[in-house]
Structure 1
Amino acid sequence: MPRSIQDLPQHPARVLLPPLEVLLDMGFTPKSCLAGTGVSLAQMNNINTRISLEQELRFYRNALDLTGDPTIGLKLGEPFIPQRYGLFGYALLSAETFRHALTITENFGRLTFSFFSFSFGVDGSQAWFSIGEPPPIDQELIDVYMDRDMSAAGVDFTEVLGVGFSIDRVLLPHDGKGFKQKYRDHFDCPIEFGGAEGRFYFSSDLLDKPLPKSDPESSRHLQHQCQMLIAKMTSHGSFVDEVRLLMLARPGYFPDIDALAGKIGMSARTLRRRLKNEGSTFREVLEEIRYGLAREYLANTHLPMDEISLLLGYTEPGNFSHAFKRWSGLSPSLWRQHADSS
């Protein structure tokens, strides 16, 4: 389904710092790069400041106008190393395998400052990673963002793997802007232009490669924090999102309705009524969170079922197994087997 402008997230002001560094190195001044954005350097260094879509798009329009280079996105993506993304980046680096890192990217892609969606899959001996669903903005800027995010993904995957990310071929959704050889040189592989999305193809042997900075326990904790950040990002004054965020506050602990109502400062009856007004119930929100976390633990970790049960607030593994089968139609162990083989 096509997205609207209202669906796009507002990014933190610091999203402009990496590309600004590139433009400053090219000899442009902060004043010219930020002209018309209403964004100051002080705001970009304040972690709590967010910018509007219009401010961000104006910055990238300035980059195009100043450089006169339709391929400038390739350069602007180079400084986006994983550490730039905060919690998400460290979850990526500490993942157990490259497959897990790609799953984290697919699940928490909104924390990369991208307007696109991410997915990956396997086709025989080839694996692929795709960047798609472009935002509803000017096509020229879509192409800049696509180049930026494809370039950044190549940098990030090299950091995650600890060695060069060996790409067999790349698909790009534009026509190369008259600089096809420049794209071939940048990605150091054959390029196909005019596709439906941006896509890397690489050997599926990489997927189960252990990562050099793997720390599964830290990665699980960081992914939980990413869940909380996503909940904040998707909140538009929604009471349901406020409840969801409070439920995620302590890993492995899910407050009952009375305890949660007390945290908010209202009675359980009022909490139920507020949720009902937004078409939800306490149980539905709780089960949505548990099901989402369960799928991540089953797909991304080798945790035993009893530990997953505890992380989801169940005292008995049998209770978790029964609930998961009700949600998915499969037992947790069978669901995990399907996830491992996909």
Structure 2
Amino acid sequence: MFVIFGHCATFPLFVQAIGPNNIMKRTTQMPPQHPLRALLPPLEVMEKLGYDRCRCLQGTGVTLQQLDDLGSRITLQQEQRFYRNALDLTDDPLIGLRLGEPFVPQRYGLFGYALLSAETFRHALVIAENFGRLTFSLFSFKFGIEGQSAWFALCDPPLLEEDLIAVYMDRDLAAARVDFSAILGEPFRVESLQLPHQGRGNAQAYRQYFGCEVEFGAPDARFCFDSGVLEKRLPQSDPDSSRHLQQQCQMLIAKLTAQGSFIDEVRMMILARPGYFPDIDYIAQRMEMSTRTLRRKLKNEGSNFRDLLEEIRYGLAREYLADTQLPMEEISSLLGYSEAGNFSHAFRRWSGISPTAWRQNVPLTRPRSV
């Protein structure tokens, strides 16, 4: 879905009021490092505006070669420098609105597909609230109902300079509107918008962009919309698929218990990012051990990295084929294959038949989820 957030360790609460009315509250709940691919959508926008990648990445420490590495991650400081560059290059305080527009649901893998396949818009918002950590934002999500109106809010901004907070906020609001429209299959109509700042001299531009009245100096950033939309059945609704995808989302963000086995820990590391299956060197680095030590510990538990990777892919493949209506191209992408043909070849090696044949025979091999 949107450009949205995640949280890691929680530090002691620190509250700082911002803005002339001392309304917007910040905490030191810090976001994790985001995947480097979080920069690709806004980079596309900047390139269309005439700014080459080198200028946009200046001072970030990110190289052009790293952009092709799905396993790379960036620090919050590197990400901030990119958005600072975008502000300085364009000299446009509303550039965040443009940078949020490419963040369509499919950018988020399992999370995005779970949203698209939700039964109703209300269900989609519940998914967003529960699993927003799988997106790229620095905020948390909440939604609710007040009378005939419903609202969706961005909460818990991090401790950043106010102009950067505004860029992130604009980006996420623009992205949310794009994603809600994609989920609903029609333009998402905003009745009113609340913003915690005073418009920074661009009040009318905000009204024109979102096509609604805007209240400035509000407690948080939120869309208000007709609550009747919540019960709208979504055009790509597939409750079984959405439920299964939510289970996968939960798996991605679940923390291992202290009793978890070493193999389980490695599995969680492999499943950390939908569509990307890291090599053993990357996993060893993330687990702060040598590749040799990782191989030895897996061997002690009766496994090896290649077999574990194949086991995970085969298991996911069977679940996607049995419990969802996702096309082969999307399943291939979720399993880390660049082409559907490569996935088909691997599946034949695992099962002896093609994935299409396996899906057709699902009733004979296992019951579908209910």
Shared fold per TM-score greater than 0.5: yes
Q: Deviations over 1:116-153 (max 9, x none)?
A: 00010111111110111101122211111001001100
Q: Deviations over 1:151-190 (max 9, x none)?
A: 1000000000000101100001111111111101110000
CA distance in 2 between counterparts of 1:8 and 1:126 reads 31
Q: Which of 196, 200, 210 lines up with 1:173 in the alignment?
A: 196
Distance 1:246 1:17, change over 3 A: closer
Q: Deviations over 1:271-303 (max 9, x none)?
A: xxxxxxxxxxxxxxxxxxxxxxxxxxxxxxxxx
Residue 137 (1) aligns with residue 164 (2): no
1:91 partner SS: helix
Deviation at 1:99, TM superposition (A): 0.3
1:182 partner SS: helix
Deviation at 1:20, TM superposition (A): 0.6
Q: Which residue of 2 aligns with 1:206?
A: 229
Q: Which residue of 2 aligns with 1:4?
A: 28
Distance 1:204 1:244, change over 3 A: farther
Q: Deviations over 1:74-120 (max 9, x none)?
A: 11111111111111111110111000000000001111200100010
1:127 partner letter: A
2:129 partner SS: helix
CA distance in 1 between counterparts of 2:67 and 2:102 reads 16
2:28 partner letter: S
Deviation at 1:238, TM superposition (A): 7.8
2:91 partner letter: G
1:207 partner SS: helix
Q: Which residue of 1 aligns with 2:147?
A: 124
2:152 partner SS: strand
CA distance in 1 between counterparts of 2:173 and 2:261 reads 32
Question: Mapping of 1:2-151 within 5 angstroms?
Answer: 2=14, 3-4=27-28, 7-151=30-174
CA distance in 2 between counterparts of 1:221 and 1:244 reads 21
Q: Deviations over 1:168-224 (max 9, x none)?
A: 000011111111111011100000111111101111100010000011111111111
Q: Which of 179, 182, 194 lines up with 2:217 in the alignment?
A: 194
Deviation at 1:4, TM superposition (A): 2.8
Q: Which residue of 2 aligns with 1:335?
A: none
1:41 partner letter: L
1:15 partner letter: A
Deviation at 1:16, TM superposition (A): 0.3
**Contact kept? 2:54, 2:64, Cα under 8 Å:** no
Structure 2: 5+ residue stretches without partners: 1-12, 15-26, 272-296, 302-370
- Number of equivalenced pairs: 252
1:148 partner letter: R
**Contact kept? 1:118, 1:129, Cα under 8 Å:** yes
Question: Mapping of 1:131-280 within 5 angstroms?
Answer: 131-231=154-254
CA distance in 1 between counterparts of 2:176 and 2:102 reads 11
2:34 partner SS: coil
1:41 partner SS: coil
CA distance in 2 between counterparts of 1:27 and 1:98 reads 37
CA distance in 1 between counterparts of 2:97 and 2:268 reads 40
**Contact kept? 2:252, 2:268, Cα under 8 Å:** no
Q: For the aligned residues, what is the CA RMSD?
A: 2.8
1:122 partner SS: strand
Deviation at 1:248, TM superposition (A): 12
1:69 partner SS: coil
Distance 1:16 1:210, change over 3 A: same
Q: Deviations over 1:245-287 (max 9, x none)?
A: 869999xxxxxxxxxxx98957xxxxxxxxxxxxxxxxxxxxx
Higher helix share: 1
1:13 partner letter: L
CA distance in 1 between counterparts of 2:147 and 2:261 reads 40
2:74 partner SS: coil
| Larger RCO (CA under 8 A, 6+ residues apart) | 2
CA distance in 2 between counterparts of 1:39 and 1:239 reads 38
Distance 1:90 1:42, change over 3 A: farther
Runs of 4 or more, structure 1, over 4 Å off, are 237-250, 262-266
Deviation at 1:43, TM superposition (A): 2.0
Deviation at 1:29, TM superposition (A): 1.1
**Contact kept? 2:196, 2:219, Cα under 8 Å:** yes
CA distance in 2 between counterparts of 1:225 and 1:110 reads 13
CA distance in 2 between counterparts of 1:168 and 1:17 reads 31
The percentage of aligned residue pairs carrying the same residue is 57
1:110 partner letter: R
